[in-house]
Structure 1
């Protein structure tokens, strides 16, 4: 039975996207992953399923950063169908595999072999290359309106004035100005991009400057393990979820290398640079952030990396910066980091 289960899981993995579309229909594809709330098909983004075999793992393997659960596509079938008997799971899997499920193909007839498939790393590289530096653009205004004023060394962020946005498969394509962030691996190679669509009318307290659309943030490319990077990591690095969160913390620790993993699920899975010896985890104050922090601590400690958690007084560090102010954020950070790093990253930069 174990051999049968292994074979079924492997065969399901070959059709991972079709499996996800069928059993995890509340989710959506982003780059090489299927994102959904959990294995029981709840809407959300905490769980990610690998859609293609890669050096990072097998197709069909999934992790839920909010709960720490993980498994394969047989587990997806069991939980999403509320099955308790393993024989029923096997029967359902075999029934699914008996149906024709071709690999999804781009349906745009105008795509040529040399064109980048939408959502691919190549498409991400092209978008980043077409974008321009943020100086004197809506991106710079957006960040400054969120009280992020230390904008040196952020070449990983760019501006694109008319970035495509499509609410769903049945809606027309729109264009909005966008902040484009490079998602890179530990060597600096671009693996994807993250887009934050912005409101051309400017900042408002309701949207904090993001475009008034359903999902003003989306990523494309190969994201798992990678991040948006500010500075080159050495022995010390800080990691957190959002770009604005990490740029806020960077206002008081301007020379500390930092990465934004873009979500709790991806924060839990970031890859560690070979040089890293101490990792600061900038947690968001919510259950998903707590689970990501716990997973990341376990992974770091397994390879001998010291971890120190830094916590905001409010929901995240950008809220602290905007509402409590720069001096309060600096004071709170000073008491949470190692003494040698206070001298290195706060006092010398002040």
Structure 2
């Protein structure tokens, strides 16, 4: 193995410790699959602007969404030491890693032994993560099916009506929305319970992989007054909320089995999707849950083309970059793709535009 390969294995084996040390990272925004950290070399940097992946094949990879800087585990050390990545800082990082792990004076046999131990540690960590993910997904599925089976007649319906997306008017509504009157808000101290609209986020086979939570005021007049009223659990990559079944009324799986396909509308938010479904009942409507969700929308045999509703508050360079990559990926499916952007004076999204009377 090369010096760089051995050093990289060592970094991956002790990644969390190195991230905490070099980037002064705290636990606040650490999740199982990734860790949001602050760029210590950019004044005013916020934790949500830089991320280090902690699991799977991307473990050790990182990206600063403001500057665009990114790289692998060696680059992470180089950046953490000197604030930029080039050939010189990579060599400095290599020397730092070798010194930290006592690699400089090791013979070939000891190097190979250490590399093998690091690989074994990484493999064990990945196995633990897979087990954790399965447990989390099972928990999300059980939670969804334990919720009230419809939002009709609940504060969630009142909330949607207030957002000009009355659930009773949505054509060919799917089975993705449920209601929970005493949902735990886990981000607040004491974990208070409050009403919530729960949406199933499913994979390409229609199997639930996560839940989307919209926490509400008791009467459903608006979102709950909390730090963040919309949350998702657990990881949501490759998942969507199937809001409607389009003009056929068939689920995506049943439509594919019968050779039926049609245009699918993609939106970020649930309210946007329901509003669009009322205005354009000829579309099957899916919500991605977040801007990043557009990057992993699964292709499906029931979809013959895509209409993507773009919010107009995605003006930041990194947001536009994410959206452009998402569109390029959708086009790679070799199906028609059309983007509809909301003019600023109509509101920030489809729901705002409809509420403003366009």
Question: Structure 1 residues 29, 248: CA separation in 2 closer, same or farther (over 3 Å shift)?
Answer: farther
Instruction: Report the secondary structure of 1:28's partner residue.
Output: coil
**1:90-109 correspondence runs (5 A):** 90=94
How far did 1:77 drift?
A: 4.2
2:20 & 2:220 partners in 1: Cα distance? 37
**How many aligned positions are there?**
305
Q: Give the structure 2 partner of residue 86 of structure 1.
A: 90
Are residue 215 (structure 1) and residue 228 (structure 2) matched? yes
User: Quick check: which has more Rg, 1 or 2?
Assistant: 2
Which TM-score applies when normalising by structure 1?
Answer: 0.71
Conservation of the 8 A alpha-carbon contact between 1:119 and 1:220: no
**2:59 aligned with 1:59:** yes
Match of 1:250 among 277, 282, 295: 277
Aligned to 1:310: 340
SS in structure 2 at match of 1:267: helix
**Partner of 1:210: helix, strand, or coil?**
coil
Q: Tell me the distance in 2 between the aligned counterparts of 1:6 and 1:258.
A: 46
Tell me, in whole angstroms, the C-alpha distance in 2 between the residues paired with 1:247 and 1:20.
42
Distance in structure 1 (CA, Å) of the matches to 2:40 and 2:210: 25
Q: TM-score, normalised by structure 2?
A: 0.70
Provide the rounded CA distance (Å) in 2 between the counterparts of 1:303 and 1:39: 40
* Contact 1:26–1:36, Cα closer than 8 Å, also in 2: no
Alpha-carbon separation, structure 2, partners of 1:129 and 1:321: 32
Task: Indicate if the aligned counterparts of 1:33 and 1:49 stay in contact, CA closer than 8 A.
Answer: yes
Q: Which residue of 1 aligns with 2:211?
A: 193
**1:151 maps to which residue?**
170
Does the 8 Å CA contact 2:155/2:219 hold for their aligned counterparts? no
For 1:125 and 1:218, how far apart are their aligned partners in 2?
16
**Structure 1 runs not aligned, ≥5 long:** 107-113, 204-208, 329-350
- Structure 1 window deviating more from structure 2 (10-19 vs 218-227): it is 10-19
Secondary structure of the equivalent of 1:177?
strand
User: Which residue of structure 1 aligns with residue 194 of structure 2?
Assistant: 176
Q: In structure 1, how many angstroms separate the alpha carbons of the residues matched to 2:202 and 2:151? A: 19
SS of the residue corresponding to residue 251 of structure 1 reads helix
Change (3 A) 1:227 1:196: same
Larger RCO of the pair (alpha carbons < 8 Å, separation 6+):
1
5+ residue gaps, structure 2: 103-120, 246-250, 253-260
Paired with 2:324 and 2:14, the residues of 1 have a C-alpha distance of 32
**Deviation readout 1:24-67 (Å, 9 max, x if unpaired):** 548624564445688979436576655432xxx54344567788
* Change in CA separation of 1:299 and 1:20 when aligned onto 2, cut-off 3 Å: farther
Instruction: Quote how far apart the aligned CAs of 1:269 are.
Output: 2.6
Displacement of 1:188 in angstroms is 0.3
Matched, 1:322 2:355: yes
Q: 1:200 to 1:271 in 2, by over 3 A?
A: same
Residues 4 and 94, structure 2, Cα contact 8 Å, conserved in 1? yes
Higher-helix-fraction structure: 2
Q: CA deviation at 1:96?
A: 8.0
Q: Secondary structure, in 3 states, of the residue corresponding to 2:279?
A: coil
Secondary structure of 1:136's counterpart equals: coil
Q: 1:18 to 1:198 in 2, by over 3 A?
A: farther
Distance (Å, rounded) in 2 between the aligned partners of 1:184 and 1:60: 28
**What is the CA–CA distance in structure 1 between the aligned matches of 2:272 and 2:38, rounded to whole Å?**
22
d(CA) in 2 for partners of 1:275, 1:141: 32
Task: Say if 2:140 is the partner of 1:124.
Answer: yes
